[in-house]
């Protein structure tokens, strides 16, 4: 983000950036890094309470279709436009209901 003109950052991106800066502690990992076949970058950021932010970013020049369950917590199929992102917020496992699987209750925040 250091090379961007901050006055030109779209409102949604600025809000996301500000939200992440307010987080006290995040443990970040890229579980799909090094795997071939997808232009989507998957970033998982775990909070101390066990909840997880999953950011999906299409680094390619063509739209990417992600099927439900293709990524941890993805509840439905999404299409990521080129250079767009989609943010999922997964609840801690302790807040799961018996019908949930995959360890999380997702909510989605589009940031395309």
Whether 3 has a pLDDT exceeding 80, the answer reads: no
CA distances for 60 relative to 46, 55, 97, angstroms? 26, 15, 36
Question: pLDDT tens, 14-65?
Answer: 777 787 777 777 788 898 887 877 889 999 988 888 888 898 999 999 999 9
Residue-level pLDDT at 6: 67
Whether 107 has a pLDDT exceeding 80, the answer reads: no
- Evaluate whether 111 touches 93 at the Cβ level (below 8 Å): no
Q: What are phi and psi of 19, to 5 degrees?
A: -65, -45
22's enclosing H/E stretch is: helix 11-22
Residue-level pLDDT at 60: 92
Structural domain boundaries in the chain? 27-110
**Tokens representing residue 10 in the block:** 């779209």
Whether 13 has a pLDDT exceeding 60, the answer reads: yes
Q: What is the CATH number of domain 27-110?
A: 2.60.40
Question: pLDDT tens, 91-103?
Answer: 887 655 444 434 4
Rounded (5°) CA angle 8-11-13: 85
């Amino acid at each position: 983000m250091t090379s961007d003109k901050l006055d030109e950052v779209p409102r949604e991106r600025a809000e996301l950036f500000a939200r992440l800066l307010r987080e006290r502690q995040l443990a970040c990992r890229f579980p799909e890094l090094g795997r071939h076949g997808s232009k989507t970058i998957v970033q998982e950021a775990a909070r101390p309470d066990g909840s997880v932010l999953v950011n999906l970013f299409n680094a390619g020049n063509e739209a990417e279709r992600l099927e439900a369950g293709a990524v941890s917590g993805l509840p439905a199929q999404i299409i990521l436009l080129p250079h767009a992102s989609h943010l999922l917020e997964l609840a801690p496992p302790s807040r799961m209901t018996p019908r949930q699987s995959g360890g999380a209750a997702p909510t989605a925040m589009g940031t395309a």
